[in-house]
Structure 1
Amino acid sequence: YGIFSSRKIEQFARENKPAGWLIADQIPSYRTICRFRISDELATLTTDSLSQLTQYLRQNGMIDDVSFIDGTKILADANKYSFVWKKNTIRFDKMNREKLVDLLGELHEAKIVGEIPAGSELTPELLDIMISKVEDHLVVLNETVEATKQVSPNPAKQQRRTVKSQKRKLDKRRDKMREHQAQQAIYGQRNSYSKTDHDATFMRVKEDPMQNGQLKPAYNVQIATSNQFITGYRLFQNPTDTRTLQPFIEHLKANNVLGHTIVADAGYGSESNYRYLEDEFGQHTVLIPYGTMLKENSRKWQSDDRKVMNWDYHEKDDYFINPQNVRFNFNAYRQRTDKYGFTRDFKEYIAEKYDENHQLISAALTPKGYLKRISVNENWEYFKSKQRELLSAPETGQIYAQRKIDVEPVFGKMKA
């Protein structure tokens, strides 16, 4: 019915006959409804009820030992223009600190506050100390002004006016710093949040009538199903499904609802997820295709000379030969660490610059004259090969084909 507020729910229960019958005509007040919705007992009750339901379904053979995982974005009940961006906060905080340094420099030149040691970090607590020193100086100036009332123009009055202005600016900069620190605490690992719902993150959702990729406050809802029964769910603030898989799997395991076979779409296929599942859940069957799996089976991809997978590889001497007959020899092991801390291992290969007759090979050089290099991630290729093998097998391929008709209709019913 699309009713969210506690008062509206009370009104609905009072006026709707079927709703009244469901609660045995014991109409709760909106205060009772509100207390129930925000209570810790509700979260425990929901989790325990779902766990007991899953056990009952499994005991009666209504679900199997397969967990189909998928996610969707649910719009938050927040203003779509109430966004706060992390990059802006960082930029504004930097500007605020630069102005603070200039202001404190002026106060130091006036011998009102001491010099801040080089390399020390500005904090609201440090600024409180500085403000108290400015206030002490204002007390002295007030006494001087009272003692020299007859002097005109009065230099003490002019100095007091300047110091008061500096104090107001210092108060403003300190408050801004506290505001930026509070915003950083709300962000956590996110890049945005909503002013009217701090837990919501701005994401791209499918409902985009303007067709301009507008970001809206939303949550990423992850569910696990079996025979269209929801066996587990969790809300995430991450807009991408890739980073939700590992904590969601741990959640399912903790509630004893994780099936022996884990099935998800290509949005979850990443090296970090494959490695995690192999290390922590090696006894489980994982059916998660990687993002380019369908493209790699196309004729266009397999005939593309730029793809290293289409080159000839000589395992014994560890080198590649591309379609231009340029040999790429192994050079070194490399590592790359992404912003989330996951490290990938690569093997770097460099093209041979000269042929057997010591003639320069032009195809071995880039347009700027550098030697061409390629990087090969053997771990990633291993996981890709494993998924291709599993998904091409009749039994496991049939299980994966069940994914669309198992988990997708559940979201359809939720959004209907």
Structure 2
Amino acid sequence: MLLPPSLDELIPKDHACRVINDVINSISLEPLHAAYHTIGSSSYHPQMLLKVLVYGYVSNIYSSRKLEAACKESIYFIGAARRFLSSMSYPDHNTINRFRGVRLKDALRKIFEEVVLLLAQEGLLSIEEVYTDGTKIEANANKYTFVWRNAIATNKEKIKKQLAHIWEYAQSVATAEDSLPDPPDFTTISKEKVQDTVDKLNQVLGKKENIDKKMKAKLGYVTKHYPSNIARYEQQEAILGDRNSYSKTDPDATFMRLKEDHMRNGQLKPAYNVQISTSNQFIVNYSLHSNPTDTNTLAGHLDQYENSFGSSLKSITADAGYGSEENYTLLEEKQIAAYVKYGLFDKRQHNSFNKKHPFSADKLHYNLQGDHYICPMGQKMRYIGNKISRTTTGLFKVPGCTKLLTAVNVL
């Protein structure tokens, strides 16, 4: 011990900090460098900060203050020259927070893609054949400050009925001079229509002295609250978009059913649907969705993959949660081999299910010459008509093997 040991001797050859150091040294960090100004005082090197942050997360250290302490106390963070992580730099917690919250935010996706391509070049994963699944992650949002689309629709209906009721009363007490027209058309309600209606009601009823006190109180409440309420509902509907709910403290989060409690009965909480594709247990692609159903996230997830790597997949394996006619059609158009079960695949492997549903659409035989179907009992089926419905994503769906059929007795 006459000469103190070097850090290279103290850190095991197969330690994670060496792997992180080598990987980050091997990838391009141009997107991260672009987040820094070229003028001004010198900053901590972004490559060093990225190494500290990644190794901290691998070691389950997420607190900026704990990361700050680790850069001073842990031999795995402290290092000299290019061999180790912090290179004798001691960034404080403010620097670490600013780095991951501002500098790294827009560059993280590109860095992730660089790491994936590096692992693919090393033969550790495939970016052409992946396994995909989703998980719901609870948002850091208030569970009780929520907005529901159905609640907005219900409140709008109440406004329509109340305005129509007051309008009918105004017509009953109006004179020829007031010339109150027919009730306004509230097929589509808006802030302008409500304000115009309220102004006309006040113009007619405001002149009357002997109007009903309850009706006068209702008109006062309507005048004070309804225009502002409709304006608020319009803003909320703009935030909702195609969703049915969102959290006021995190508008991007949608209320989804989570199963994290001990009873496993599911709880509605603000969350995100994270779609993840893996290869050899490495994450190859990820995407965030506000839609709670995995079925409707596959198209966006594949688009994210193509934007990241500039090409399409060769094959994808997923569970029955992704099995739908729309997804099968999409994968076929993209020429992606789909190993995706449909929802009833497992049940249809059992005889008990087939006995309970002997006349399901897949049990019907189509007679090409006669252009008709034959049921399992051997009876000819009479054509009734087409029933076309639309899915939540706008796809036209024709159930029952493109035709809705019924069995009739053949005498």
- TM surpasses 0.5: yes
Residue 214, structure 1, aligned to residue 214, structure 2: no
Choose which of 201, 211, 232 in structure 2 pairs with 1:179: 232
Structure-2 residue corresponding to 1:352: 408
CA contact (8 A) 2:65 2:93 kept: no
SS in 2 for 1:29: helix
Q: Is the 8 A contact 2:139 2:271 kept in 1?
A: yes
Rounded to whole Å, the distance in 1 between the matches of 2:366 and 2:243 is 42
Paired residues of 1:113 and 1:133 also in contact (CA < 8 A): no
CA contact (8 A) 1:78 1:196 kept: yes
Secondary structure class of the residue paired with 1:216: strand
Residue type matched to 1:56 in 2?
L
State the partner residue of 2:241: 188
Query: Aligned partners of 1:51, 1:34: CA distance in 2, in Å?
Result: 22
What is the aligned partner in structure 2 of residue 247 from structure 1? 300
Conserved 8 A contact 1:263-1:286:
yes
What is aligned with 1:270? Answer: 324
Residue 187 (structure 1) shift: 1.4
SS at match of 1:208: coil
| Contact 1:205 1:216 (8 Å CA) reproduced | yes
- 1:123 counterpart (175, 179, 190): 190
Query: Shift in Å at residue 265 of structure 1?
Result: 1.2
Indicate the RMSD between aligned Cα atoms, in angstroms. Answer: 3.9
Equivalent runs, 1:242-321 vs 2, <5 Å = 242-256=295-309, 258-279=312-333, 281-282=334-335, 284-304=336-356, 305-310=358-363, 313-321=366-374
Tell me how far apart the structure 1 counterparts of residues 218 and 148 of structure 2 sit (CA, whole Å).
31
What is the SS of the residue equivalent to 2:261? coil
* Aligned 8 A contact 2:68 2:91 in 1: no
Q: What does residue 140 of structure 2 align with?
A: 77
Cα drift, residue 220 of structure 1: 0.4
SS state at 2:156 partner: helix
**Contact 2:375–2:407 (8 Å) recurs in 1:** no
Q: Which runs of 5+ in 2 are unaligned?
A: 1-55, 79-84
Asked whether the equivalents of residues 139 and 253 of structure 2 are also in contact (C-alpha less than 8 Å), the reply is yes
Instruction: Encode CA deviations 1:260-291: one digit per residue, 9 max, x unaligned.
Output: 11221111010011112212x12x22211111
AA matched with 1:353: N
Equivalent AA in structure 2 for residue 29 of structure 1: N
Q: Distance in 2 between matches of 1:311 and 1:134?
A: 62
Number of aligned pairs?
331
Q: Secondary structure at the match of 2:131?
A: strand
Partner residue, 1:389: none
Residues 334-364 of structure 1 deviation map (CA, whole Å, 9 limit, x = unaligned): 4332343211231233323341xxxxxxxxx
Q: Which residue of 2 is the match for residue 90 of structure 1?
A: 153
Give aligned-pair identity as a percent.
29
- Distance in 2 between residues matched to 1:113 and 1:231, nearest whole Å: 69
1:55 partner amino acid: L
Q: Does 1:48 align with 2:110?
A: yes
Structure 1 residue 57: deviation in Å? 1.9
Choose between structure 1 and 2: higher helix proportion: 1
SS in 1 for 2:262: coil
Structure 1, unaligned runs of 5 or more: 142-154, 356-416
**Cα distance change, pair 133–193 in 1 and its aligned pair in 2 (3 A):** same
Instruction: Judge conservation of contact 2:136–2:258 (CA < 8 Å) in 1.
Output: yes
More relative contact order, 1 or 2 (CA 8 Å, 6+ apart): 1
Q: CA deviation at 1:309?
A: 3.4
* CA distance in structure 2 between the aligned counterparts of 1:136 and 1:336, rounded to whole angstroms: 47
Conservation of the 8 A alpha-carbon contact between 2:275 and 2:301: yes
User: 1:302 and 1:252 mapped to 2: Cα distance?
Assistant: 39
Equivalent residue runs for 1:341-380 within 5 Å: 341-345=394-398, 346-355=402-411
> Residues 66 and 116 of structure 1: is their aligned pair in 2 closer, same or farther, counting only changes over 3 Å?
same
Equivalent position amino acid for 2:327 in 1:
N
After TM superposition, give the deviation of residue 125 of structure 1 in Å.
3.6
